[in-house]
Every structure is written in C-alpha cells, then in structure tokens.
Amino acid sequence: MLVRSLTLATLMAFTGPLLAADNRGPLEQDQGKFRPLIVIAPSSIDPTQVQLKKDLEQPENKQKFTERNMVLYTVNYTSIGTVGQRDGKDLGAQDTNALIRALKLGASAGTKVILVGKDGEKKVEKTVPPDTLDLAEFFAAVDKMPMAEKEAAAPAEPEPAAPAAGKPGAKAKPGKHAPQPLED
C-alpha cells in the first residue's frame, strides 16, 4: 500500500507540471481565429463596461463586431476574487488568471480596454478615464490590420489553360509556363 502511494505521488509530481504547461490560456486558444476585445474593470457595474456592452447590443455594432471575428472578454475584481467572462460565459479562475498574465498589465487606475489581434499582440490599449471609449476606433484599428486585408481580399480565380495547338495525340512543346524537365 505504501509503495502504491509513493508511486502515485511520484507520478503526480512529475506529470502535474507537464499537464499544467499543456493548458493554453484563452488568448492562445483564440490566436489566429478571433480578435479579443478585453475590458478589465473594477466591477461589473463599471460605467465604461456597461456602456460598451450596451453599444455592442446595437444591431449595427453587433454586425461589425461579428464580421471582424471579435470576441468580448470581461474581467472584474470582486470581493471573492477575479471573475472573467468570454462572450458572457464564465471563465474559470485559472483561465482568467492566464488571461491577465498574458496581457502583462501594469498597475493603473480606471478601466482598461484592450484590443488584441489574431497574432496575439496588443493593438489598441486605452485606460478610461482619461481616454474615451469609441467602438468605431476599435473597428478602424481592426480594418487596418494585415490579417483583415487578407480576409477581405477575394481569392483570384485561376486562368483556364490554353488548349495545345498541333496534331491530336502529339505532345505539346514546353512553353514559358510549362514545367521544364530537370537536368542532372
């Protein structure tokens, strides 16, 4: 019995950190797929956070938000600890803390609003007050991002291949665009 307990304890000691290192934070999971807009506020009734959510409920803004593959994260400091949400769904304490660590924030007063690109880098960071919050500014920042330009570009249609001239059944001579045989 003692041997089993020691074996289990040793196994957990070695595999625990490996499993923890395998757990990716929410920003890493969204990387390449979404553009997180993160609000870090002292409480859920913070005026900046309330106004932002209200603005995002307007159909025009909701459509722009969705078209740009954005997701809303909120982090609030409460008496029981830090509470995080992604698009209105609760994040666990571990994911919330991973989100905050990934942002590498310094101490500041006020509400922070941060736009992160699909590449995982911060694109726009505002502290309200003294800054003001305008969704149009965040949408414009997304539209300037290289990834947005690639998504907006329509895929070019391939040109149809020209029929080979000459006798039927005869092999066509290699032209400029035809692959050349390799020489040794």
Measured from the Cβ of residue 124, the count of other Cβ atoms closer than 10 Å reads: 15
Q: What is the pLDDT along the chain (184 residues), one digit of tens a residue?
A: 555 544 545 545 554 444 444 457 898 999 989 999 999 999 889 999 999 999 999 999 999 999 999 999 999 987 778 899 999 899 998 999 999 999 888 767 789 999 999 988 999 999 888 888 889 999 999 998 876 555 554 455 555 555 555 555 555 555 555 566 656 5
Helices 135-144 and 59-67 sit at what angle, rounded to 10 degrees? 20
Angle at 139 between CA 147 and CA 36, to 5 degrees: 65
- From CA 102, how far away is CA 38, in angstroms rounded? 12
Structural domains of the chain, with CATH: 25-143 (3.40.30)
32: which residues sit within 8 A by CB, 6+ positions away?
A: 118, 119
Contact between 141 and 115 under an 8 Å Cβ cutoff? The reply is yes
Distance, in Å, from the CA atom of 184 to the CA atom of 182, rounded to the nearest integer, reads 7
The residues, any chain, with a CB within 8 Å of residue 36's CB and separated by 6 or more, are 26, 27, 30, 70, 71, 72, 73, 114, 115, 116
Q: What's the pLDDT at 112?
A: 92
Torsion over CA of 84, 86, 91 and 94, rounded to 10 degrees?
-80
Sheet (strand 81-86) strand order = 89-90, 81-86, 70-78, 35-41, 111-116, 122-128
pLDDT of residue 6: 47
* Structure token digits, residue 14: 């070695």
Give the pLDDT score at 104.
86
